[in-house]
Structure 1
Amino acid sequence: MEDVLKKHGEMRSNSDTFSYEDLLEDRETLAIIISSLVVLITVVLYFILQRKKHARRSILITGLTDSGKTLLYARLLSGKFKLTHTSVKENAGDLHLKKGTVKVVDIPGHERLRGKFFDNYKQTARGIIYVIDSVTFQKDIRDVAEYLYIILSDDVINSNRPSVLILCNKQDETMAKGCKVIQAMLEKEITTLRVTKSSQLESTNETGKQISFLGKEEKDFEFSQLSHLKITFAESSGRSSNNENECDLESVHTWLEEVA
């Protein structure tokens, strides 16, 4: 009888040992599974983010007609001066930078065309270059400010948050205004423009486009109020008044390398 009890005790002891070892193995297996899942999720999220970044690889060049957009596009892609004319369709090409390749899209500046082409490409925009003719700016300030307002208040732009370069072009001309003067005048004009634009908020369903208030209410507009968007002002010249083969696009190249 004692032998039977002893044997039963040994079996029970062996059974308890086996269960404890199984438990350790289960914990180790569970830890491996959890670690593997964490790594897998991290890899998947990385590729999703990279895919989204790659999907938004366009640099849009836009602005009013005759501001120098197409010459800027030609300079960036070929480095050469080219005679240009008013575009009726977009120009697009790949630009190779130190950090990678971006697709540069020159959007027509005509009032009847620019909205359509901008809407076609805004979802893919990593950056926007808004070109201003610094010579005719004071005369065209209303149109310049209104188109810029439309871009900066666009719901897709505010969601994707591409970098924005406001490029004060044609600085080689004697009558060109500097970017600080242009910035101040734009802020004043947009302050006035907001009054009429804000009244369109109720007509969103009629236009089919979302219109948002730009800046802070009850305060004069300043670009610094748009903290969700990285807005940079810079000066440039697509050609020299003395030599068409000379240009000053250093600020543009610096900005492009930062955006890429």
Structure 2
Amino acid sequence: MGEKADVQMAQNPFEPYVESLRQQLEEQDPVFLIGVVVALAVVIITFVFLKYFLTSKTVRSAVLLVGLCDSGKTLLFSRLLSGKFKRTQTSITDSSAPYKAKNDRGSTWTLIDLPGHDSLRPQYLEKFKSAARAIVFVVDSAIFQKEVRDVAEFLYNLLTDPVISRNTPAVLVACNKQDVTMAKSAKLIQQQLEKELNTLRVTRSAALSSQDGSVGRSLYLGRKGKDFEFSQLPLKVEFLECSARGSKGEEGDADVEKLERSLAKL
């Protein structure tokens, strides 16, 4: 009999411990056991959430350069990467390259220049928006007054996009071409865009309501009952001035320090 027990012990050395644990659990108060199960469940759920959160943060490592045609995106792309002036033409496809931020962490992002033509913008934004850690929205400050409606419509579509709203990338509105005498300031551009977006919000909401009696499928921009301001958004929108060309023309340096500082904070 003793030899048989020894054989069983050798085959399953943990059986006595399992049996002892089972007996102890049976003697415990059911309320206590429920509490232990709930605590374990909370730990597991928290672990899964943190893993998902950290993974999604890691994946979003792209900095998108977007804007209307001829706003200076491609030259800005070149200046940020090499500091050099480069003659450009209207882009019909995306361009990408590693960009090393000027910070102590040595952060490296994938800088992507997206086409600015209105027939190409939607498909390229759809392709890259999920990976965006930041979006640099480039505005031509010199002719902003002529393009304010088009700029506002593009920005409205971007800010009400469900994926962008959920991921909350930083949005940097780069008011480019500040080297031009008639260029509008970043503050003035912000104020005019807020007014234009406020008007656009009313017309878009009215159009959707007339179609199906509901605006539930479209994200509402800002706060209902209040005039629109960028501070109302769930994501951070920063306006800054820059000049990809620079005040000294092709031979001089670009004025992109403010943009570089903002990218260094990502």
Interval of TM-score (by shorter of Structure 1 and Structure 2): 0.7 to 0.9
Provide the C-alpha distance between the structure 2 equivalents of 1:189 and 1:218, rounded to a whole number of angstroms. Answer: 16
Segments of 5+ residues of structure 2 without an aligned counterpart are: 1-19, 34-38
Change beyond 3 A, Cα 1:204–1:237: farther
Residue 211 of structure 1 aligns to a residue in which SS?
coil
Amino acid at match of 2:208: L
What is the aligned counterpart of 1:60 among 34, 58, 64? 64
Q: Provide the aligned C-alpha RMSD in A.
A: 2.9
1:169 touches 1:237 (CA, 8 Å); kept in 2?
Answer: yes
1:201 touches 1:212 (CA, 8 Å); kept in 2?
Answer: no
Q: What's 1:253 paired with?
A: 260
Provide the C-alpha distance between the structure 1 equivalents of 2:259 and 2:211, rounded to a whole number of angstroms. Answer: 35
1:67 touches 1:169 (CA, 8 Å); kept in 2?
Answer: yes
Q: What's 2:82 paired with?
A: 78
Amino acid at match of 2:200: L
Q: What's 1:198 paired with?
A: 205
Q: What's 1:12 paired with?
A: none
Change beyond 3 A, Cα 1:124–1:224: same
Provide the C-alpha distance between the structure 2 equivalents of 1:84 and 1:168, rounded to a whole number of angstroms. Answer: 19
Is the counterpart of residue 225 in structure 1 residue 203 in structure 2?
no
Q: What's 1:91 paired with?
A: 95
Instruction: Give CA deviations for 1:204-242 in whole Å, capped at 9, x if unaligned.
Output: 99xxx953221222322111121x111111000102243
Task: Output aligned runs, 1:99-138, within 5 Å.
Answer: 99=105, 100-138=107-145
Provide the C-alpha distance between the structure 1 equivalents of 2:108 and 2:211, rounded to a whole number of angstroms. Answer: 37
Provide the C-alpha distance between the structure 2 equivalents of 1:219 and 1:76, rounded to a whole number of angstroms. Answer: 38
Instruction: Give CA deviations for 1:116-171 in whole Å, capped at 9, x if unaligned.
Output: 10011111111100000000000111000110011001111111111110111111
Provide the C-alpha distance between the structure 2 equivalents of 1:198 and 1:223, rounded to a whole number of angstroms. Answer: 18
What is the aligned counterpart of 2:53 among 11, 28, 49? 49
Provide the C-alpha distance between the structure 2 equivalents of 1:42 and 1:158, rounded to a whole number of angstroms. Answer: 23
1:127 touches 1:162 (CA, 8 Å); kept in 2?
Answer: yes
- Which structure is larger by alpha-carbon Rg, 1 or 2? 1
Report percent identity of matched pairs.
47
Is the counterpart of residue 187 in structure 1 residue 188 in structure 2?
no
91-100 or 142-151: bigger deviation: 91-100
Residue 120 of structure 2 aligns to a residue in which SS?
helix
Provide the C-alpha distance between the structure 1 equivalents of 2:200 and 2:119, rounded to a whole number of angstroms. Answer: 20
Provide the C-alpha distance between the structure 1 equivalents of 2:55 and 2:68, rounded to a whole number of angstroms. Answer: 32
Give the Å deviation of 1:201.
3.0
1:200 touches 1:211 (CA, 8 Å); kept in 2?
Answer: no
- TM-score if structure 1 supplies the norm length? 0.79
Give the Å deviation of 1:90.
0.5
Amino acid at match of 2:245: R
Provide the C-alpha distance between the structure 1 equivalents of 2:144 and 2:127, rounded to a whole number of angstroms. Answer: 27
1:134 touches 1:178 (CA, 8 Å); kept in 2?
Answer: yes
Amino acid at match of 1:239: R
Change beyond 3 A, Cα 1:247–1:44: same
Q: What's 2:249 paired with?
A: 243
Segments of 5+ residues of structure 1 without an aligned counterpart are: 1-18
